[in-house]
Amino acid sequence: MFEAAELGRSVSKEDYEAKVPKLRAGLLEAQFRLRSSKLPVIIIVTGADGAGKGDVVHRLNEWLDPRGIDTQAFWLTSDEESERPPYWRFWRVLPARGRIGVFFGSWYTRPIVRRLAGKLKNRELDAELDRIAGFERMLAEDGAVIIKLWLHLSVEEQARRFRDVEKNPEKHWRILPTDWHSPKLHSRFREISERAVRHTDSAVAPWQVVEAGDDRYRDLTVGQIVLSALRAALKQKVMHGPKVTAKRTPRAAGVSVLDRVDLSQALAEDDYARKLEKYQTKLNRLTWAAYEKRRSMVLVFEGWDAAGKGSSIRRVTEAIDPRLFRIFPVASPTDEERAHHYLWRFWRHLPRAGMIRIYDRSWYGRVLVERIEGYAREDEWKRAYHEINDFEEQLVEDGMVLGKFWLHISKEEQLRRFKQREEVSFKRYKITPDDWRNRAKWDQYSAAVNEMVRRTSTKSAPWTLVAGNDKKFARIQILKTICKSLEEAL
Amino acid sequence: MFEAAELGRSVSKEDYEAKVPKLRAGLLEAQFRLRSSKLPVIIIVTGADGAGKGDVVHRLNEWLDPRGIDTQAFWLTSDEESERPPYWRFWRVLPARGRIGVFFGSWYTRPIVRRLAGKLKNRELDAELDRIAGFERMLAEDGAVIIKLWLHLSVEEQARRFRDVEKNPEKHWRILPTDWHSPKLHSRFREISERAVRHTDSAVAPWQVVEAGDDRYRDLTVGQIVLSALRAALKQKVMHGPKVTAKRTPRAAGVSVLDRVDLSQALAEDDYARKLEKYQTKLNRLTWAAYEKRRSMVLVFEGWDAAGKGSSIRRVTEAIDPRLFRIFPVASPTDEERAHHYLWRFWRHLPRAGMIRIYDRSWYGRVLVERIEGYAREDEWKRAYHEINDFEEQLVEDGMVLGKFWLHISKEEQLRRFKQREEVSFKRYKITPDDWRNRAKWDQYSAAVNEMVRRTSTKSAPWTLVAGNDKKFARIQILKTICKSLEEAL
């Protein structure tokens, strides 16, 4: 890959000065059109030490309108970052639609550095690279333009530059002393990088190896690559427009997973009171123990309207110190959230080490309400199963305890509760016309829930189907399940 | 204050059960109306140890719709928080308009704890309390409803509870062992708290001392306080509606501060090249030194359209390692930003220790464009001077280096540059109809800039008026000023 780069290329000053104005005009024009498009752009600037990554970042900020650019350097890690899954820090700074993120450092850095330090074997590196490829594909499918620049230096040129820095430190005030490694490390770095580049060179996120021996050639080439990538993306956008697919009504399966939930299960009042006290006490102890061991927990509550999500969540939270948990109630996304991949808002709220985050509704909206109401296109909700499984896998790998609850009730029970709500004064605000509309689509939702449970009940993140016709039984089932998961984890 | 609380109050179980449904209905109704109002609500739950603060937080989440509540516990401090001015962690979690923030712990905790530990003297505590009072007033003027609950226990009742916990630890699984202090500390805590409560009891953010000896009385009282406060705020909102005041055209002063800027200052090309190299090299060294000493820097760029903000910023940033700085280009606020106090978005982007944040336009928009275009009411932009001075004072107190630049050019020079921009292909995207509209209001803006500079050039945060007719001169003036500030700070 690297060998294929044409070496020794250079551009004269005259040639450079003649070409730059046109290039800049093109870049600014593309950026201007980008703003009204829905495309987020990610430009990864990486490559050999001494190849001028920082200079390229500066140049992009000079040629493009810096007001539309967010330059991100992934360098120091804050505790808020290190206490969450490794990709959290990337998610939090992904560019919004219409903006350009220039990434100085990226998701490639950590696996390469860890391989270099011997903390990963080659096959572990490959697994990390697979994750990267999946991540980039997911962003690209969501519309992101991903431009990956690898600045390449020949071994000789790199050595020459190192000698020059050593001799004339005052000339190189832009260079951080820690940038320089030993020659031996360099050759190892080159080898690993090449593996990474080869492994993650894809149609949706291709690598561009740029010969960096001559500054003018390097910058012009980078500018042209960025310009063509932007133009190609904008053109494709115009040609296809948003894909609108007909809503497909989910087919009802034969006997579904939901059908198998035994809704007749119930608890007597005194039995309930005793168990509630028991499991709440236990949960309180376990959450403090988890806090001390810095194990986080993510709880997801989904279910039919009026299935008792709210009251079940309350039975869980009243057992937990308010310092340890926060609830994220999922409502319509804000415009900042809409300007990102749909998983962005959920990544955003992941808990820090030892803390608990409760999602009242969740990312599963993608394959439930967004699917049924047509807010997500068929290709979007279909690939969501995989995206969600990968997301949850990252949480579990990072040591989080994950609980997913579907609160199930019968259609008759729901009707009874809707009517009751309309009668009790302080519950009246809990029932809206939306609830009735959703109820009319019970069968469609049923089929979607069944498919969701089938496709996203993984070994590391299984669904718990809660028998909710009896609220008391449901609450105890939930508390018991959470306690069990925590006990197993600690 | 605390003595005045009526002790020994209690509510029978029957009475409680009779009153709760009506109270809940009222709370839910008020919360429902709140959602469509523009009022953010802050409920601070604090008070004596053992008084049941956590229980009250749970109760509020039970009686109100928890989906409209963000419970915030200010407990552990992350490094992202500790590397910024103390109020950053509060700003980042202030509730959006229409939402309720239940604060378990608050801006009161730190001053009280520091006074308790002997790190503050009484008069220093008072200064902190003044800042709190100012902060609350500012939020209230922006529409926030601030409800401050102090849960009070008599000394005897508190002692009784402590003994009970010691005897029956299993009964008190909700209580964190570290909650309990020695009796001596308790009496000291009570004394300091009383000072704090007295000092910060204001019409816009009054304290409510709630007798907490009886759980039912405590919870009912809290519920009723919250309900009346919400109703009063909603009523006021309806009665007054948003105050719309006529736009007042700023009067032109006699000889203004802007008039005194000598716009004839210029630099020859070779002099410029030499100085640019000199100050950029210096700036690079200084920013690394500041990074090592963990001193942050905030740079604010304001100026006439086409005054050269963009190119000046670039001359600054190209001297700085991309890992150390980020630019925040101020455009229209997002809806999340609009749902908060106007300073929220600027607090949001403050740099971490050792880092540099450049604001391309800034909070001064409040007293410039928002004033002239009537986006801010007269009372809003008038109080902004004070709010801004206080904000900047907090940055400087926290050790940040703050530079504020107004790039000044003459009206004739602006015209020349507008015309030039329209001619050069890659600059065409930099000129918009807005620019011409703003130019037509040159005199109004002039007067607003003069008033801004007069009112916000404080000793700790002075403005630098940049003579911008000659771009080269302007750039060197800016670089030089930044270097000087950094040198003085380090």
- List per-block mean pLDDT (blocks of 10 residues) for chain B, which spans 490 residues: 66 94 93 90 93 92 90 88 94 95 93 93 94 95 95 87 75 52 78 93 94 94 97 78 51 73 93 96 96 96 95 93 91 91 95 95 96 94 95 95 97 94 73 87 95 94 96 97 96
Query: How many A/B residue pairs have CB atoms within 8 Å?
Result: 138
Q: CA-CA distance, B342 to B384, in Å (whole number)?
A: 10
Distance of CA A451 to the CA centre of its chain: 22
Beta-carbon separation of A80 and B75 below 8 A: no
Burial of A96 (0-12, 13-18, 19+ CB in 10 A): middle
Q: Is residue B245 part of a domain?
A: no
Is the pLDDT at A472 greater than 60? The verdict is yes
End-to-end CA distance of chain A: 46
Q: pLDDT by residue (tens digit) across A338-367? A: 999 999 999 999 999 999 999 999 999 999
Beta-carbon separation of A70 and B326 below 8 A: yes
Contacts of A336 in chain B (CB under 8 A): 334-336
Q: Which of A36-45, A149-158, A346-355 has the lowest mean pLDDT?
A: A149-158
Beta-carbon separation of B334 and A336 below 8 A: yes
Q: Are residues B274 and B409 in the same domain?
A: yes
Beta-carbon separation of B66 and A313 below 8 A: yes
CA distance B459 to chain A (A): 31
* Residue whose tokens read 């945060």: B461
* Residue whose tokens read 């704890």: B113
Query: To which H or E segment does residue B210 belong?
Result: strand B207-211
Closest CA to A404 of A422, A423, A415, A391: A391
Contacts of B329 in chain A (CB under 8 A): 66-68
Which residue in A43, A321, A348 has the most chain B C-beta atoms within 10 A of its own C-beta, making it the best mutation to test that interface? A321
Is the Cβ–Cβ distance between B42 and B103 less than 8 Å?
Answer: yes
Contacts of B315 in chain A (CB under 8 A): none
Q: Are residues B224 and B277 in the same domain?
A: no
In the DSSP assignment, the letter for residue B120 is S
Which residue in B70, B79, B109, B301 has the most chain A C-beta atoms within 10 A of its own C-beta, making it the best mutation to test that interface? B79
Q: CA-CA distance, A453 to A466, in Å (whole number)?
A: 12
Q: Are residues B233 and B281 in the same domain?
A: no
Distance of CA B106 to the CA centre of its chain: 14
pLDDT score at B137: 95
Q: Is the dihedral of CA B310, B313, B318, B323 positive or negative?
A: negative
CA distance A22 to chain B (A): 7
Residue among B73, B323, B425 whose CB faces A21 most closely: B425
In the DSSP assignment, the letter for residue B361 is S
What strands lie across the sheet with A401-408, from one edge to the other? A325-329, A356-360, A297-303, A401-408, A463-467
Which residue in A291, A358, A421, A425 has the most chain B C-beta atoms within 10 A of its own C-beta, making it the best mutation to test that interface? A425
Residues B424-450 as b/e (b if ≥16 CB within 10 A, e otherwise) read eebbebbbeeebeebbeeeebbbbbbb
Q: pLDDT by residue (tens digit) across A359-389? A: 999 999 999 999 999 999 999 999 999 999 9
Q: Are residues A228 and A282 in the same domain?
A: no
Q: Is residue B1 part of a domain?
A: no
Strand ranges in B216-324 using DSSP code E only, listed in sequence order: 297-303
Contacts of A424 in chain B (CB under 8 A): 21
Domain extent, residue A477, equals 269-489
Which residue in A32, A106, A219, A323 has the most chain B C-beta atoms within 10 A of its own C-beta, making it the best mutation to test that interface? A323
Which residue in A24, A43, A76 has the most chain B C-beta atoms within 10 A of its own C-beta, making it the best mutation to test that interface? A76
Beta-carbon separation of A66 and B29 below 8 A: no
Q: Is residue A299 part of a domain?
A: yes
Q: Are residues B293 and B438 in the same domain?
A: yes
Beta-carbon separation of A429 and B73 below 8 A: no
Beta-carbon separation of B425 and A318 below 8 A: no
Beta-carbon separation of B67 and A425 below 8 A: no
Strand ranges in A69-218 using DSSP code E only, listed in sequence order: 69-73, 100-104, 145-152, 207-211
Q: Is residue A353 part of a domain?
A: yes
Q: What is the ipTM of this complex?
A: 0.84
Q: pLDDT by residue (tens digit) across A287-315? A: 999 999 999 999 999 999 999 999 999 99
Q: CA-CA distance, B308 to B407, in Å (whole number)?
A: 7
Q: CA-CA distance, A453 to A436, in Å (whole number)?
A: 24
Q: Is residue A424 part of a domain?
A: yes
Average the pLDDT over A48-54 and give the result.
88
Length of chain B: 490
**Cα B63-B65-B66 angle, rounded to 5 deg:** 100
Most confident residue range from A166-170, A432-436, B181-185: A432-436
Q: Are residues B444 and B378 in the same domain?
A: yes
Q: Is the dihedral of CA B115, B119, B122, B128 positive or negative?
A: negative
Q: Is this model's pTM higher than 0.95 or not?
A: no
- The nearest alpha carbon in chain A to B80 belongs to A78
CA distance A179 to chain B (A): 12
Q: Is residue A183 part of a domain?
A: yes
pLDDT score at A468: 95
Contacts of A21 in chain B (CB under 8 A): 425-426
Is the pLDDT at A23 greater than 50? The verdict is yes
Beta-carbon separation of A321 and B32 below 8 A: no
Q: Are residues B284 and B361 in the same domain?
A: yes
pLDDT score at A462: 95
pLDDT score at A241: 45
Q: Is residue A357 part of a domain?
A: yes
Residue among B25, B79, B430 whose CB faces A425 most closely: B25
Q: Are residues A484 and A338 in the same domain?
A: yes
At B41 the three-state DSSP class reads strand
Q: Which residue has the higher pLDDT, B480 or A425?
A: B480
Residue among B28, B68, B335 whose CB faces A334 most closely: B335
Q: Are residues B313 and B206 in the same domain?
A: no
- The nearest alpha carbon in chain A to B26 belongs to A426
CA distance B288 to chain A (A): 9
Q: Are residues B177 and B45 in the same domain?
A: yes
Is the pLDDT at A202 greater than 80? The verdict is yes
Contacts of A75 in chain B (CB under 8 A): 323
| Number of compact structural domains in chain B | 2
Beta-carbon separation of B21 and A429 below 8 A: no
Q: Are residues A218 and A355 in the same domain?
A: no
Using CA atoms, how far residue B211 sits from A376, B47, B49, B51, B60, in Å, is 52, 10, 13, 9, 17
- The nearest alpha carbon in chain A to B105 belongs to A323
Contacts of A176 in chain B (CB under 8 A): 288, 321, 323
Beta-carbon separation of A323 and B173 below 8 A: no
**Domain holding A354: CATH number?**
3.40.50.300
Q: Are residues B275 and B231 in the same domain?
A: no
Q: Which residues contact A11 (CB under 8 A, 6 or more apart)?
A: A19, A214, A216, A217, A220
**β-bridge mates for residue B358, sequence order:** B299, B327
Q: CA-CA distance, A428 to B25, in Å (whole number)?
A: 8
Q: Is residue B3 part of a domain?
A: no
